[in-house]
Amino acid sequence: MMPFSIARLPRIEFGAGVLKKLPDIIESYGNHILLVTGAHSFMNTPYWRLLIDQFEHRAITWRHAMVAEEPSPALIDDFVIDYANEHFAAVIGIGGGSVLDTAKAVAGLLQVQHSVMDYLEGVGPELSYQGPAVPFIAVPTTAGTGSEATKNAVLSVQGENGFKKSFRHDKLVAEYAIVDPDLLASCPPGVIAANGMDALTQLLESYVSLKANALTDALAISGLQAVRDALLPFYHQQGELAQHREKMAYAALLSGITLAQTGLGSVHGLASPLGAFYPIPHGVVCGTLVAAATRINLHSMHMREPDNPALAKYRHVAEILCKQHFNDPEIAFDALIDLLTQWTEELTLPRLSHYGLQPAGLDKVIAHCRGSSMKTNPIVLTDDEIRQILLERL
C-alpha cells in the first residue's frame, strides 16, 4: 500500500432527522448567525418553520441571505459588504451546491475584508489566503455536489468572457456537515438526475484519479454501490424512497470527500468552461459527458498506455455498476460505457447543443479545459480526444 495523506474533513452528522441537532451545534459557537439558503425550495418545506421556531425558542438571532442562482464573485462581495459588521458566531448554509459554496466563501471573507477575486484560482492576483474564517456549517438539501465535504467554493461569471473558478483553502472546510436524507424529499426529478450523475461522476473520476489512494478507493467504491442501487429508483420515485434518499445522500457525501482528496478528471475539466460560457447546469454536464469521457479515456489508454493501472479500475467499476463479473476486460469496458449511456438517456439529460454549444465553439471550450481537474485525469488527453468527447454529446 502506497503512503497517502488525507486533508481536513468536517465533523459529520449523517442520518434521517439529524437536522434537529443543528440548534445545539450552533449554540456551541454562539447565538448570532448568518443563514444562507436558496430563494424558495427549503423555505417551502416544513423543516424551515420547525428550524425557525427552534431559533426563536433558543434566542438564536439570525440574518438571512438568499441565493437564487450559481454564485458569482460579485454576489459574494456584496454579501460580505452587507454583513461585515454583524460579528456572526457561525455561517449556516442550507441548500444545494450553489448555496453551500456561497456560504463557504462568505464565511471565509467576513473577517478578511478582501474581494473574493483576490483569491480565485487563475483569476486576479491569487493572493495567499490566511483567514480567519467564520465557522461554517453545511446542510445539503440535494445529493450531488459534495460541497459539504470540500474546501473549495466554485464561483462563476457567465458569458463570452466568463469563467468558473474556485476559492479554495483548508480553512474553508465546514466545521460540521449535517447530512439529513429527509431533506431530499422535495427534490424534483430533474434535480435528482443532474445531482445524482454529478455524484456518480465525482466518485468515478476520483477512483481513477492519478492521486487516488487506498482510503479514497474504498470510499469511492462504497459510493458507487449506493448510486447503483438508488439513483434510478429515486428518480422514478419507486420503491423505498427513504432508503433511496439515504443512499444518494451518502454517495454525494462520499463523492465530496474523495474529490477533495484526489482531484477529478476530464468531465470536470470540461465542466468549468462549459458552465462559464454556456448556461449549462453543472450536473447536466457531468451526466451527459461521463459515458463519452469514459470511452475516450479507455481508448486513449489502450492506444498509448496499455499498462495504465486505471484500466483495471474501470473494469472493477463495470463489475460494480453492472453487478456481474467479466472475464474479458473489453466486454467489461463496453458494458460500462453502455450502462452509463443508458443512464444518461433514462434520466433525460439534455445534450450540450440544447444550451447553445455549436461546433464553432468547441475550440474555445477545449482551450480553457486544462485546469486542476484535467491534471488528475488518468491519462493526458489530446485536444482531438477532448473534441471527440464534446462531439459525442453535442
Instruction: Give mean pLDDT, residues 101-119.
Output: 96
Quick one: 26 and 168 in the same domain? yes
Quick one: 170 and 205 in the same domain? no
**Residue 4 within any structural domain of the chain:** no
SS3 266: helix
Per-residue confidence (pLDDT) for residue 123, from 0 to 100: 87
Instruction: Render pLDDT for 304-344 as a digit per residue (tens, 0 to 9).
Output: 999 999 999 999 999 999 999 999 999 999 999 999 999 99
In order of 78, 110, 164, 301, 343, the CA distances from 115 in angstroms are: 9, 10, 16, 42, 41
Quick one: 131 and 252 in the same domain? no
Instruction: Give mean pLDDT, residues 141-153.
Output: 95
Quick one: 253 and 121 in the same domain? no
Quick one: 17 and 48 in the same domain? yes
Evaluate the CA torsion angle 218, 220, 226, 228 in order and state its sign: negative
CATH code of the domain covering residue 320: 1.20.1090.10
**pLDDT confidence bin for 154, thresholds 50/70/90:** very high
Where among 156, 184, 212 does a domain terminate? 184
**Residue 315 within any structural domain of the chain:** yes
Quick one: 208 and 323 in the same domain? yes
CATH code of the domain covering residue 64: 3.40.50.1970
Contact 34, 62 (CB under 8 A): yes
**Residue 1 within any structural domain of the chain:** no
Instruction: Render pLDDT for 265-280 as a digit per residue (tens, 0 to 9).
Output: 999 999 999 999 999 9
Quick one: 257 and 375 in the same domain? yes
Contact 196, 231 (CB under 8 A): yes
**pLDDT confidence bin for 371, thresholds 50/70/90:** confident
68 vs 228: CA distance, rounded Å = 31
Per-residue confidence (pLDDT) for residue 27, from 0 to 100: 97
Model pTM score: 0.96
The total domain count for the chain is 2
Per-residue confidence (pLDDT) for residue 377, from 0 to 100: 98
181 vs 128: CA distance, rounded Å = 36
**Residue 5 within any structural domain of the chain:** no
Per-residue confidence (pLDDT) for residue 372, from 0 to 100: 87
Per-residue confidence (pLDDT) for residue 160, from 0 to 100: 85
User: Average model confidence (pLDDT) for the chain?
Assistant: 96
For the cut 90, the answer to whether the pLDDT of residue 151 exceeds it is yes
Contact 386, 266 (CB under 8 A): yes
Domain that holds residue 339: 189-392
Per-residue confidence (pLDDT) for residue 79, from 0 to 100: 97
Instruction: Render pLDDT for 239-297 as a digit per residue (tens, 0 to 9).
Output: 999 999 999 999 999 999 999 999 999 999 999 999 999 999 999 999 999 999 999 99
Contact 250, 39 (CB under 8 A): no
**pLDDT confidence bin for 185, thresholds 50/70/90:** very high
User: Which of 94, 116, 251, 219 is closest to 172 using CA atoms?
Assistant: 116
Quick one: 169 and 217 in the same domain? no
Per-residue confidence (pLDDT) for residue 131, from 0 to 100: 92
Quick one: 178 and 246 in the same domain? no
Per-residue confidence (pLDDT) for residue 2, from 0 to 100: 86
**Residue 3 within any structural domain of the chain:** no
259 vs 202: CA distance, rounded Å = 6
Instruction: Looking at mean pLDDT, say which of 113-127, 128-142, 153-167 comes out highest.
Output: 128-142
For the cut 90, the answer to whether the pLDDT of residue 394 exceeds it is yes
**Residue 103 within any structural domain of the chain:** yes
Instruction: Give mean pLDDT, residues 49-54.
Output: 95
Per-residue confidence (pLDDT) for residue 1, from 0 to 100: 82
For the cut 90, the answer to whether the pLDDT of residue 122 exceeds it is no
117 vs 123: CA distance, rounded Å = 7
Kindly report the length of the chain: 394
Lowest mean pLDDT among 100-104, 154-158, 215-219, 240-244: 154-158
Where among 147, 162, 184 does a domain terminate? 184
C-alpha grid cell for residue 379? Answer: 491519462
58 vs 337: CA distance, rounded Å = 53
Instruction: Render pLDDT for 3-26 as a digit per residue (tens, 0 to 9).
Output: 999 999 999 999 999 999 999 999
Quick one: 108 and 161 in the same domain? yes
Where among 150, 184, 218 does a domain terminate? 184
Quick one: 262 and 179 in the same domain? no
For the cut 90, the answer to whether the pLDDT of residue 196 exceeds it is yes
Quick one: 272 and 341 in the same domain? yes
In order of 117, 185, 392, the CA distances from 46 in angstroms are: 37, 11, 43
**Residue 241 within any structural domain of the chain:** yes
Gyration radius of the chain's alpha carbons: 20
**Residue 291 within any structural domain of the chain:** yes
For the cut 90, the answer to whether the pLDDT of residue 78 exceeds it is yes
